[in-house]
A and B are shown apart, each in its own frame.
Chain A
Amino acid sequence: MKVRYFAWVRERVGKAEEEIDPPAGVATVGDLVAWLSRQGEGYAYAFENPNVVRSAIDKHHVRANARIAGASEIAFFPPMTGG
């Protein structure tokens, strides 16, 4: 699946997007955040406070308990500051 990062999450991870293949057992967005946090320093920094980072599956806002099975694009970003 494709993962996209925006704003300071993107800066901390060091890339805007990537294809990932998480192991079985990574079932929810929260699991994915925990797994990503172990993929390097930048990831750990981006997700150091997982409650702050927002997520979306296929362009819909979701919470940490959302299941990722069947998702084609998952995005992580800070609280929004548009408008």
Chain B
Amino acid sequence: MSVTIRLQREPFDAAKEIAALTRGRTDIGAVVTFAGICRDDENGEPIAALNLEHYPDMAEAEIGRHIEAACRRWRLLGVTVIHRYGRIAPGEGIVLVVTASSHREAAFAAAEFLMDYLKTRAPFWKQVEKPGGKTGVKIWVEAKTSDETAAERWDGECRSKA
């Protein structure tokens, strides 16, 4: 089981990360990648960029804990999570989750599970930078109830299994 967690300012290359995770491995039969990308709008309003603030040590620890939880639920052969911080322009990647397993079910489910938790539990905060070059026009993105609900459904499944 190979686990890679990286918090970085620089853009990532999804193809390179998949290659790194699967290189020399013949036991992996399925790889799922999710890339979260910066849109050019937030709630229908145009944006110039996102600025992501994070709590470095806790972000890494929290992502690690969710990867451990995913490994307890599914037979995974590898996981890579990369989350960027700092200024991110529309079209650029924000987050990358790569999961690998023998068969597709585990990789699909684990990728979704990890994303749902990253959204609500990993200490990152997005701030919208408005276009027009006016300084100081920055607005914190509000948390969505739908993201909470998405993460909570996994708790429900845990309880129903117990």
8 Å CB interface, B79-100 against A:
83, 94-95
* Number of A-B residue pairs at CB separation under 8 A: 75
Q: Does A40 contact B (CB under 8 A)?
A: no
Q: Does A67 contact B (CB under 8 A)?
A: no
8 Å CB interface, A59-83 against B:
59-61, 75, 77-83
Q: Which residues of B contact A (CB under 8 A)?
A: 36, 52-55, 57-59, 61-62, 83, 94-95, 115, 118-127, 140-143, 147
User: 11 A-B pairs, CB-CB below 8 angstroms?
Assistant: A7-B125, A56-B55, A59-B57, A59-B61, A79-B143, A80-B143, A81-B124, A81-B125, A82-B54, A82-B119, A82-B124
Q: Evaluate contact between B125 and A83: CB separation under 8 angstroms.
A: no
Main SS at interface, chain B: mixed
Q: Which residues of A contact B (CB under 8 A)?
A: 4, 6-8, 56, 59-61, 75, 77-83
Smallest CB separation, B62 vs chain A (Å):
7
List residues of chain B with CB within 8 A of the CB of A56.
55, 58, 123
Smallest CB separation, B35 vs chain A (Å):
11
Smallest CB separation, B146 vs chain A (Å):
12
